[in-house]
Structure 1
Amino acid sequence: MVSKRPITAEDLSRIEVFSDPHFTPNGKAYTYVSTIINGKNEYESHLFFQNVNETESKQWTFGHHRNSNLTISPDGQTAVFQSNRSGLPQLWLIHTDGGEAQQLTTFKNGASNPMWSKDGKQILFSASLNSDDDIQNQKELSNEERQQAIEKKKNKPLLVNRLQYKSNDKGFHDDKRAQIISYDIEKESYSKLTTADEDHRLQDISPDGQYLLFTANLNPGADYENTTDLFLFNISTKNLSKLTDGKGIYYNARFSPSGNRISCFGHEYEYDGATLSEIFVFDLASGERTCLSDAWDIQLGDAMAGDTRLGQSVNGPIWSKYEDRLFFLATDSGATGLYQVTLERNLTVLYKDDNHVFGFAYDVNSDSFILGISTPTNPCNFYLLGKNLDLTRLTNSNAAFLEEVAIMNPETFTIQTEDDWEIQGWIIKPYGFNEDKKYPFILEIHGGPHAMYGQTFFHELQLLAAKGYVVMYTNPRGSHGYGQKFVDAVRSDYGGRDYADLMDAVDYALANYSYIDENRLGVTGGSYGGFMTNWIVGQTNRFKAAVTQRSISNWLSFYGVSDIGYFFTKWEIGYNLLENPAKLWDSSPLKYADKVETPLLILHGELDYRCPIEQGEQLFIALKHLRKDVEFVRFPGADHELSRSGNPNMRIARLKQICRWFDKYLKINE
């Protein structure tokens, strides 16, 4: 007998999400960010502090604001953080023993990502600036002035002269560039450290305070490239050294404790967008670059797909106190864990279980870690991983919510395909499961395609199970977590073996779970999962309902309208528009619209620049013109991140549309 109620779409607003753990300098406490959806339908993020030997946290910030990126000064007395309480994200200072926060920056376009110098005398941060901006006299606009500027921009033509002129996260680009700024605390003055007409991403500052690490593409042909180089900048002499060769992408770079070495993640596009990341170490004395991970076959960092992760967290690589090891997260077989590698390339798993480690912090004083962990039945908690690798829970987030709501635990399975590949997947039984009943079934397909479903909390999957559906989700070839050959296998074969993997998984479920009603099958997915949903309904009529989300339907037009289309099309399908339009059309679900018999609901954000809404429009018009059973739901103001970080009310409305469609077509016999 079920004692707890089923989860609802509205419960999305009740889930607290943790992120960004950091030890205090003395290692006796840590800080973190908690994000909720408040009663005003807004995201609200606050900073918390907790001693590692206590069970209660202390909240440091209040109000209906978003506070994040907290970093404590080396002496532990002061902290700087990012907050939008004045309107735009700006930097604020707060004493760690309490008191009101003081605003540090008033930059016109905001300030972000603060970092202390190791002596605590400087705060470095990023700011979006025009080339002639005076950084000493920056003034944040009032809400009224900001609104006037927005209206003025709406009435002005947009001149486009760059290939990369828009992106899903920023919208249409302008002439402002992200520059690195230094704030001298004693002099209360700013210094602009970078000036090139490209975006600069601050990575780290050396222990002696003399050098900066940043990433950027400073090549003359940057507009046509997807490379990101790593640079070493001498603050005193302004000398700039390029540490990489312009062939790849590098990120998460950090100085070793001595400042003699640099570590980072990166790769050189050996398999284009399907390339696994590596760990590199640069020896600054010899100039030698070493890859520590060249013998591995795992994806570094966190590639887990989910819909309840808000805020950033450290993935690594992080140096040990003796700089003989590096710590990092890695993605493997449906889970993420904490790993270490020595400079001699010896790899060790420090912690990995059937769950999702979404971030970590390392303390040099105790050689211990704070781990952020999500499980399929619990959105998040923080744990202390001691020097002896003993795990102690520090928080009890969402306790009241989990006491009230039934969360179903997925069952893992693995199938063998006809061509002898192993495909991992999960089944969630419906709420109130009765083994004597037959239940409708929904196949969920993740985006990417180079992402991974796995052992994490996923609200949408739980909601469908609560509505009475058997939910299956799998990692077909193309997914991360199973090695380089596996993740690369989907490229130039969209709708081929990846489609067969999904159908094999459905066949396996029907053969092994007698409670599934084979006559009531549904399918849904977003982005690549939306493409695959479109492809499936054009290839088979076995599904009785489908919901396609933020999808691709036409590779010919995607090439020119997506913010990544001009390179992603060739990466994934194998050709650009002018090289082989016939191949792009053959790989487009739109070509097979006349074959579609499955009732299809199309969900799309109107400001999606990754998979623009014209992709959904084309498919809707073609199907409607053919008098097919189709509906189209447009979400105003929503971009490609609607399901994960979009407007909360829109996210709930989206979930209700999905449930409405499946309820209409899959519950007709109940």
Structure 2
Amino acid sequence: MEKIKIEDLFNFNFLSGISLSDDGKYLAFVVSKANEEKNNYTSNIWLLDTTDSKLKKLTTYGNESNFIWLDNKTILFQSIREDDEKQRKQNGEKFSSFYKISVDGGEAEKYFEIPLIVKKIKKLDSENFVILGEYNIYDNDKDYIILDEIPFWSNGAGFTNKKRTRLYLFNLKNKEIIPISGEYENVSHFDIAKNGKNILFISNEYKDKMEIRSDLFIYNLETKGKEKLTHDDPFRYAYAYFLDDSIIFAGSDMKNFGVNENPKFYLLDPKSKKVTLLTPNFDLSIRNSVGSDCRYGSYNNAAVDENYLYFVTTEYSSSYLNRIDKTGKIEKLTVNGGSIDGFDVKNGEIYFIGLKNFKLQEIYKLEKAEKQVTFFNERLVNERKISKPEKFTFTNKDGIELEGWIIKPVDFEEGKKYPAILDIHGGPKTVYGEVFFHEMQIWASEGYVVMFTNPRGSDGRGNKFADIRGKYGTVDYEDLMSFVDEALKRYPFIDKERLGVTGGSYGGFMTNWIIGHTDKFKAAVSQRSISNWISKFATTDIGYYFVADQQSATPWDNFEKLWWHSPMKYADKVKTPTLFIHSDEDYRCWIAEAIQMFTSFKYFGVESRLVILKGENHDLSRSGKPKNRITRLREITNWFNKYLKE
């Protein structure tokens, strides 16, 4: 077998958008692949017949997305196919074209077009749809940009000043589009009642400064009336669904643990407006926080079927599928580790996309056990040398047991010393787990030990463990250094004189922090990092509220604290050769963060290099243009090879 290669990215199949027909006979999903020639991704809809497990590729054009079931035999999907559509799109015209196709195959037929950029669509009946679409309060097609609110831009979306995501009704027969939400509201989620008479949605209305809160509304399709159901203020709603004659929702008042506080589940009676807290002792994240660079597309984290809300949680280093009923009783449905990357359920039948058994994504059916039903990536994994993580636990200085892993080099030889790379996850409220990670396998193939852990601040262990507000660079740094010391003690084949460190986002911050506080590492790669909490406060799309919340300070009430937690403060102590990698359209951790640290290093004579990827954003390593993803990984690997091998 061959070692895994950086270019194997072009052979990966990424699965997303899983959806069952109402009768449960067919499972539709999207398969995406990196296209080397066009330097983009092709996405096609596939179909699984659940009665005999037969698979077929339903569309072949390559840009199919945002699909729904029109009926049990017909799929509606969004695409740009015709030459005039392509030309109009290139000219900046804002519209969305929808096509329909039968599960029996044949050519797709253009069904309708909407003069909006559609983000999501759901069917009300054969002639009416509910649409989540872009709405511009200002004319943004001018040669200048007006900013009069914060946030004014968003990672992956560019300048968003006075842009909102608005909810609409669309009638197919008369082409009428009626807005449901207000022009200053940003709608983040909606659900349609089974009887088709009501729409439930979550939105945040603002004009000058977006507050971290949201409201819950119900819209009556018969009376055309909108009613506010918000039960507490401020409150941050995660999602809300109709469950029989009630509404079940998840959210947090953020009083105890700030913006990252884990949601709880509530039941609301639409008639009496009575709200019941169902899970007072529930303390888990209701999302999949398990990191991987082998995903592409969108995923469902919650769905209602019969008398249950099904949802995903992250627990320690894995994510799991659960369900809750109206009494608040929670059942954990999956027990195997790994990652649940979206699911759907109809009539009790459950299918999910998973990163399981250290494989790339496949679809699984949940019966009494998890049964793999697709094998899109099986051949590639079987033809490559894969080094699986080895887990160990250790106790930090405060007596808390932590999890850590090492990945041995491919073709490991006893008695030989190996360089090692500490890889730090982003977030900080995410986790590393035992799932396939392309970059880690590349480094193992290059002869490195790869080390990773989930320090305090990580997800999966409740609010208290994740809460490092005002503590960045203290307890998390201690946990990471304790982990490295423990790994060196347990694995004598790790060469302590050839250690590297890298990470992205929060992991980039921590990389910057580490090399300003220890000379233990001989090379560093800081990706999409944070170097200065003062500048981050006023420049990034989440800065003004995230920094105030996470650092427990603003530039006015505690300038010294923000500077104390800023890696740039310690740049004059750094001796470690450092590569900075950043995207020029990263509005989450703006490029100024990398530039400031890079300039500081050059000023003090530290060996450093800054690589800027054009046209990319904060998600470069996960969904950037394929060739840029390869450039990034090659630059990192070459940097470590230069300083840890030569």
TM range (shorter): over 0.9
Distance 1:204 1:526, change over 3 A: same
Kindly indicate whether the alpha-carbon contact (under 8 Å) linking 1:29 and 1:50 is maintained by their aligned counterparts in 2.
yes
Distance 1:347 1:207, change over 3 A: closer
Percent of paired sites with the same residue: 36
The aligned runs of 1:189-588 (5 Å cut-off) are 189-218=176-205, 223-244=209-230, 245-256=232-243, 258=244, 260-270=245-255, 271-316=257-302, 318-321=303-306, 323=307, 325-364=308-347, 367-375=348-356, 377-386=358-367, 389-488=368-467, 490-588=468-566
Aligned-residue offset at 1:186: 4.4
The separation in 2 between residues aligned to 1:63 and 1:501, in whole angstroms, is: 49
Kindly indicate whether the alpha-carbon contact (under 8 Å) linking 1:56 and 1:395 is maintained by their aligned counterparts in 2.
no
Q: Give the TM-score of the pair, scaled to structure 1.
A: 0.91
Kindly indicate whether the alpha-carbon contact (under 8 Å) linking 2:149 and 2:162 is maintained by their aligned counterparts in 1.
no
Aligned-residue offset at 1:304: 1.3
After superposition, give the CA deviation of every residue in 1:105-126 in whole Å (9 maximum; x if it has no partner). 4344422311011x44422212
Which segment is superposed worse, 180-189 or 9-18?
180-189
Corresponding position: 1:631 with 2:629: no
Corresponding position: 1:10 with 2:16: no
The separation in 2 between residues aligned to 1:186 and 1:455, in whole angstroms, is: 51
After superposition, give the CA deviation of every residue in 1:309-339 in whole Å (9 maximum; x if it has no partner). 21112111x3341x2x322111001011111
Aligned-residue offset at 1:176: 4.0
Corresponding position: 1:97 with 2:104: yes
In structure 2, the gaps of 5 or more residues are 90-95
Aligned-residue offset at 1:194: 3.1
Corresponding letter in the other structure for 1:10: E
Aligned pairs, how many? 632
Kindly indicate whether the alpha-carbon contact (under 8 Å) linking 1:331 and 1:481 is maintained by their aligned counterparts in 2.
yes
1:505 partner SS? helix
The separation in 2 between residues aligned to 1:588 and 1:202, in whole angstroms, is: 35
Aligned-residue offset at 1:221: 6.2
Kindly indicate whether the alpha-carbon contact (under 8 Å) linking 2:517 and 2:573 is maintained by their aligned counterparts in 1.
yes
The separation in 2 between residues aligned to 1:236 and 1:264, in whole angstroms, is: 24
Corresponding letter in the other structure for 2:253: E
Q: What RMSD, in angstroms, separates the aligned Cα atoms of the two structures?
A: 1.9
- Given candidates 52, 70, 76, the residue that maps to 2:72 is 76
Kindly indicate whether the alpha-carbon contact (under 8 Å) linking 2:189 and 2:203 is maintained by their aligned counterparts in 1.
no
2:92 aligned partner: none
After superposition, give the CA deviation of every residue in 1:494-548 in whole Å (9 maximum; x if it has no partner). 1101000000000010000121111111100001100000000000001010000
Corresponding letter in the other structure for 2:583: G
Kindly indicate whether the alpha-carbon contact (under 8 Å) linking 2:360 and 2:436 is maintained by their aligned counterparts in 1.
yes
Corresponding letter in the other structure for 2:363: F
Kindly indicate whether the alpha-carbon contact (under 8 Å) linking 1:48 and 1:58 is maintained by their aligned counterparts in 2.
yes
2:153 aligned partner: 166
Corresponding position: 1:125 with 2:131: yes
The separation in 2 between residues aligned to 1:225 and 1:105, in whole angstroms, is: 37
Aligned-residue offset at 1:645: 0.7
1:299 partner SS? coil
Which segment is superposed worse, 198-207 or 507-516?
198-207
Kindly indicate whether the alpha-carbon contact (under 8 Å) linking 2:135 and 2:183 is maintained by their aligned counterparts in 1.
no
The separation in 1 between residues aligned to 2:615 and 2:59, in whole angstroms, is: 29
Aligned-residue offset at 1:280: 2.4
2:363 partner SS? strand
The separation in 1 between residues aligned to 2:287 and 2:534, in whole angstroms, is: 33
Kindly indicate whether the alpha-carbon contact (under 8 Å) linking 2:264 and 2:283 is maintained by their aligned counterparts in 1.
no
Corresponding letter in the other structure for 1:327: Y
The separation in 2 between residues aligned to 1:333 and 1:439, in whole angstroms, is: 29
Kindly indicate whether the alpha-carbon contact (under 8 Å) linking 2:119 and 2:134 is maintained by their aligned counterparts in 1.
no
Kindly indicate whether the alpha-carbon contact (under 8 Å) linking 2:133 and 2:166 is maintained by their aligned counterparts in 1.
yes
Q: Give the TM-score of the pair, scaled to structure 2.
A: 0.94
Distance 1:511 1:581, change over 3 A: same
Aligned-residue offset at 1:202: 4.7
